[in-house]
Chain A
Amino acid sequence: MLFFSFFKTLVDHSVTVELKNDISIRGTLKSVDQYLNIKLDDISVVDDLHYPHLSSVKNVFIRGSVVRYVHLPAGSVDTALLEDASRREAQQVTAKAKQ
């Protein structure tokens, strides 16, 4: 759930999504859901000559399971906050496991 919330804070930022078949799509993050399916607007494809089927596409819905990386703008990520949240979530998980 942490990363779902985290991605929600990145809505309207420009990100690059690299898929498991090596294609990289850059666009404005419009939406994300619980499976980390991603919706991008105004897309451009890195190395677009190799991927002609995306030439007339303006926005995409990417299935979360095929995403390898999401490249984020460093300026819009509060690393300290994210670290804290990760620790808190990890703590909650271990506390639950002990119960």
Chain B
Amino acid sequence: MENLSLNDPPPGSFDQAPQQPPVPLLPPQMFTTAAQLLDLTDKKLMVALRDGKKLIGVLRSWDQFGNLVLQGTVERMYVQNLFADVPRGVFLIRGENVLLLGEIDLDREDDIPKGFQEAPADHVFQLLKKEKEAKKEKDKTRHARLRALGFEGEQGVEGL
């Protein structure tokens, strides 16, 4: 009795090339930073930065570190139930400051987020400043208490 297993080639096919692996492997070049950013090039993106800024612009260039160039950038500020847009022009962002890039659905880009309304930029900026200071104060006491208990908090991510 021959010892056959499922992986043996069928009889009469010994001179054929070895069989393909059962699961087709995805090409490795798909899994690089470059491939991921290439898909987003020349698209309108929302970029969230480490300091809490949200920029909306068209991604024109990038490199392997995730440094980005945005064109036609608008900074959008949200506070309470208000938002404001400030035109900023061209932005070059150092990669380490990026939290997240989101491709904007062009069908929905002009929709105003539920419950929000547009307000003058100065007004929103002042409110945002106040809110940030209050949060900083709160975080400070929180971190001090955590440190007393031996916890070292995560650093450098303020808001999204």
Contact = CB atoms under 8 A, between A and B. Distances in A.
Interface string B105-140: 100110101111000000000000000000000000
B99 A54 contact: no
B46 interface: yes
Nearest to B158: A21
B78 A52 contact: yes
Interface in B55-95: 66, 76, 78, 83, 95
B40 to A, nearest CB: 6
Given A33-B36, A53-B76, A19 B113 contact: no
Interface stretch (B3-11, B12-20, B24-32, B143-151): B24-32
A66 B100 contact: yes
Nearest to A54: B102
B37 A61 contact: yes
Contacts of B46: 53-54, 56-57
A31 B103 CA distance: 15
Contacts of B102: 43, 53-54, 57-61
Given A31-B30, A60-B102, A19 B108 contact: no
Contact of A23 (B26, B30, B160): B160
A44 interface: no
Interface of A: 4, 8, 11, 19-21, 23, 31-35, 37, 39, 43, 49, 51-63, 65-66, 68
11 contacts: A21-B160, A52-B114, A53-B76, A53-B78, A53-B160, A56-B105, A60-B102, A61-B40, A62-B100, A66-B100, A68-B154
